[in-house]
């Protein structure tokens, strides 16, 4: 089997070779701390001196050590010129492994780093397993692990070491899940999951047996539409009820797996995006894929039904609002005439009362004359008991119109009339949704 690679050839080359430093950055090789200067004086040969400075410089840049045959010649020349040693005396074939590793130990100790040992390997393995469980992209896992090592001041190992650990993490994660499936998945659970991979029950009917393209049970759960047609809503509700039954039966294995949301989504999307035979042929992971699919679709469809409920209620409320606006618009002329009539009569009443008041307070005029003038005024301005009753009725009608608008009585009547249509859409939906009483009001 071909070895799995997680970086491109160019990325692997950059990772496993010393960093390419700019000319202004090379000063780092000679600008060393006091401990390094003191240690450098103890080294006897130009090769060990240059080798030590190269390893120290590279490590300060990328927290990594590199094989001596990968040292960059331009960096070697820079150090040779800087410490003024004979370049002909530099021979890294003499940079013995004991000296090479002793220099690394000193650098790690002085810089406060830990070498990449068994403990570090196990720590990284666990971190990789965590990231694998979240279905993180391998290249992102590599980047995250490198950051993790640097933050914990641990030497970064070669790419090959990280690749082996990542492969092991993927294998271990899958094996852990398979072990849980073997331990907790009952035969009736297997039968339930495998039943999704057979043709839908409707094709057992005589009139459908000869249909060329026959859909599978699983297919009917894949797509979630948002149509507000009552028949489509009913189909979503029926699917949700079935998924809820399967979810409840599988709850023990779901609890034992304790899959992260990202892993559930990853496996579920594999089922959704692939054909039935591609799922059925995965003997080792078929049931795991289907369990994840059921979890994912159960919650997705539950969310879709909540959106359906909200949309149905919002639509019903908006319909009522629109009907009220249409009613007010259609009755605007009648209301305008009523307001105009009441306003005109109000002006008449005010004028008559003002004139009556003037007559009453006239000090010269006789009382009998006042009565005659008031009587003539009322007849002339058409202010009689009958007319006053009619004016009172107009005023009452105007009050009634305003009161209905203020109390939104028309709105609630329209809402009551439209409630049947809303009930048709959401009554069954409400019955199947499970509300969380601790969070539903928040």
Give the pLDDT score at 62.
Answer: 93
pLDDT tens for 114-155 read: 999 999 999 999 999 999 888 888 889 999 999 999 999 999
The predicted structure's pLDDT at residue 304:
87
Name the least confident of 62-76, 174-188, 303-317: 303-317
Give the pLDDT confidence score for residue 408 in this predicted structure.
Answer: 61
Lowest mean pLDDT across 64-73, 314-323, 345-354, 362-371: 345-354
Distance CA 300, CA 221 (A): 11
Residue 308 to residue 227: CA distance in whole angstroms: 9
Higher pLDDT, 427 or 115: 115
| pLDDT higher than threshold 70 for residue 426 | yes
| Whole-number pLDDT of residue 2 | 42
Q: According to the model, what pLDDT value does residue 308 have? A: 85
Alpha-helix runs per DSSP H in 23-86: 34-41, 46-62, 73-83
pLDDT at residue 292 in the model: 92
| Better-predicted residue by pLDDT, 426 or 246 | 246
Give the burial string for 128-164 (b: 16+ CB within 10 Å, else e). Answer: bbebbbebbebeebbebbbebbeeeebbbbebeebbe
Helix (H) or strand (E) holding 278: helix 276-280
Average pLDDT across the chain, whole number: 81
Confidence of residue 339 (pLDDT cuts 50, 70, 90): low
Q: Calculate mean pLDDT across residues 336-357.
A: 67
Q: In percent, how much of the chain has pLDDT > 70? A: 79
What is the per-residue pLDDT across 148-166, written as a single tens digit (0 to 9) for each? 999 999 999 999 999 999 9
Q: What is the pLDDT of residue 216?
A: 79
Residue 211 has pLDDT above 50, yes or no: no
pLDDT of residue 203 exceeding 60, the answer is no
How large is the average pLDDT for residues 417-434? 74
What burial class does residue 425 get, using C-beta atoms within 10 Å of its C-beta: 0-12 exposed, 13-18 middle, 19+ buried? buried
HSE (CB half, 13 Å, CA atoms) of 332?
6
More confident residue, 346 or 162: 162
In angstroms, rounded to a whole number, what is the distance separating the alpha carbons of residues 258 and 264? 10
SS3 sequence of 309-361: HHHHHHHHHHHHHHHHHHHHHHCHHHHHHHHHHHHHHHHHHHHHHHHHHHHHC
276-290, 363-377, 381-395 — which is least confidently predicted?
Answer: 381-395
What's the rounded Cα separation, in Å, for the pair 71 and 92? 10
* pLDDT beyond 80 at 349: no
Cβ-Cβ contacts under 8 Å for 6 (sequence gap 6 or more): 138, 139, 141, 142, 163, 166
pLDDT of residue 170 exceeding 80, the answer is yes
* Least confident stretch, 107-116, 211-220, 255-264, 275-284: 211-220
Confidence of residue 1 (pLDDT cuts 50, 70, 90): very low
Please say if the pLDDT value at position 10 is more than 80. yes
Q: How many CB atoms lie within 10 A of CB 346?
A: 13
- Comparing C-alpha atoms, which of 60, 100, 89, 57 is closest to residue 75? 57
Three-state SS for 144? helix
Closest by Cα among 309, 319, 387 to 348:
387
């Amino acid at each position: 089997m071909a070895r799995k690679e997680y970086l491109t050839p160019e990325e692997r080359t950059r990772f496993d070779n010393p960093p390419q430093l700019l000319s202004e950055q090379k000063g780092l090789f000679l600008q060393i701390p006091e401990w390094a200067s003191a240690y450098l004086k103890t080294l006897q040969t130009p090769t060990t001196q240059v080798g030590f400075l190269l390893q120290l410089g590279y490590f300060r840049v990328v927290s990594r050590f590199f094989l001596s045959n990968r040292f960059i010649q331009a960096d070697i020349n820079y150090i040779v010129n800087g410490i003024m040693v004979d370049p002909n005396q530099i021979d890294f074939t003499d940079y013995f492994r004991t000296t090479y590793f002793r220099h690394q130990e000193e650098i790690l100790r002085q810089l406060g780093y830990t070498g990449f040992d068994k403990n570090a390997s196990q720590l990284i393995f666990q971190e990789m397993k965590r990231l694998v469980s979240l279905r993180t992209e391998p290249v992102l896992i590599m980047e995250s692990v490198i950051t993790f090592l640097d933050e914990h001041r641990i030497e970064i190992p070669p790419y090959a070491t990280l690749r082996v650990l990542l492969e092991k993490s993927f294998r271990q994660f899958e094996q852990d899940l398979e072990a849980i499936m073997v331990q907790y998945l009952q035969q009736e659970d297997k039968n339930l999951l495998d039943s999704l991979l057979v043709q839908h029950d409707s094709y057992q009917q005589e009139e459908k047996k000869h249909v060329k393209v026959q859909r599978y049970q699983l297919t009917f759960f894949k797509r979630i539409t948002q149509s507000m047609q009552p028949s489509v809503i009913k189909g979503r509700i029926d699917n949700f009820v079935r998924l809820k039954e399967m979810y409840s039966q599988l709850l023990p294995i779901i609890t034992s797996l304790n899959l992260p949301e990202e892993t559930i989504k990853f496996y579920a999307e594999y089922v959704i995006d692939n054909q039935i035979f591609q799922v059925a042929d995965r003997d080792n992971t078929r049931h795991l894929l289907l369990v994840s699919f059921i979890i994912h679709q159960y919650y997705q469809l539950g969310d879709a039904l909540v959106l359906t409920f909200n949309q149905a209620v919002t639509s019903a409320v908006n319909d009522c609002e629109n009907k009220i606006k249409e009613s007010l618009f259609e009755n605007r002329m009648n209301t305008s005439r009523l307001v105009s009539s009441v306003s005109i009569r109000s002006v008449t009443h005010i004028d008559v009362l003002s004139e009556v008041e003037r007559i009453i307070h006239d000090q010269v005029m006789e009382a009998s004359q006042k009565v005659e003038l008031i009587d003539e005024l009322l007849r002339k301005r058409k202010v009689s008991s009958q007319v006053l009753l009619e004016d009172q009725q107009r005023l009452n009608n105007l009050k009634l119109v305003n009161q209905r608008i203020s109390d939104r009585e028309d709105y609630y009547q329209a809402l009551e009339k439209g409630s049947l249509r809303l009930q048709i859409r959401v009554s069954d939906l409400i019955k199947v949704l499970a509300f969380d009483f601790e969070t539903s009001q928040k």
